[in-house]
Amino acid sequence: MRILIVDDERPARDKLRRMLAQEADITAIEEARDGVEALEQAASFAPDAIFLDVQMPEVSGLEVAASLPHPAPLIVFATAFDEYAVPAFDANAIDYLLKPFDSARLQRAMQRLRERLASRALQGERAPGAIGLPLQQLLVSERGGTRVVAVADIQWLETADNYVVLHTSQGTPLLRQTLTDLLDSLGKQFVRCHRRAAVRLSLIDKIDLEGRLVLRNGALVPLGRNFKAAILEAVTHRQSR
């Protein structure tokens, strides 16, 4: 079992690492100091499970859970705050450890992880993503670091070779992913409007005389002939609710 420990406090990470190191079936342990590192490690280290703190700077543990790529690792929240238990289980958490916890409590969490992983192995699947929460941010690799892009800031999407251009009010970062896979992660808030573009449904204002979508901020988005009927139906459905 591969474990990722995510906590912004070094003593907490060290203590949990020592406790987990006693488990014979844990083959590798990595650490992350904050939510951004957690998302990076989730992609590169590919853990089976994440022990995740809730309150962290910039990106919280709940936001990390909501931003994990699918299929996502199993999640055990480990925090000093009991008020996050309900949203934690909404995020499909396996367990919720309230600090300070002892070895016996950790063993119960580990047993739940083992049972869930064994069940998934029998079914030939990995653990599901955090299905209770919508995807909230994307990590974009840029020269000199990683940029966190809030999904709420994205207005429309456009393919560019092997990348997707994220059109936001703060710029147009490039995400190395296919548009199809990204749309699967974003859900129904974005709709395809062209073979090379998708748009946030709630931002569509009208269709101009040249057949382009006009967003509420004035941005122009290409609209393919084959997608026009579906766009009109989606807009009509949204307005009628």
> Could you tell me the two tokens for 168?
């936001």
**Band of pLDDT at residue 123, cut at 50, 70 and 90:** low
Burial of 145 (0-12, 13-18, 19+ CB in 10 A): exposed
**Band of pLDDT at residue 86, cut at 50, 70 and 90:** confident
Q: What is the pLDDT of residue 18?
A: 96
Look-up: residue for tokens 């941010």? 137
Q: What is the pTM of this model?
A: 0.63
Structural domains for the chain: 2-123 (3.40.50.2300), 137-240 (2.40.50.1020)
Distances from the Cα of 200 to the Cα of 3, 18, 190, angstroms: 36, 46, 4
The amino acid at 106: L
Q: What is the pLDDT of residues 126-173, one digit of tens each?
A: 444 444 455 677 878 777 667 888 899 999 999 998 899 999 988 999
Of the two residues 136 and 229, the one the predictor is more confident about is 229
Q: What's the CA gap between 93 and 107, in Å, rounded?
A: 16
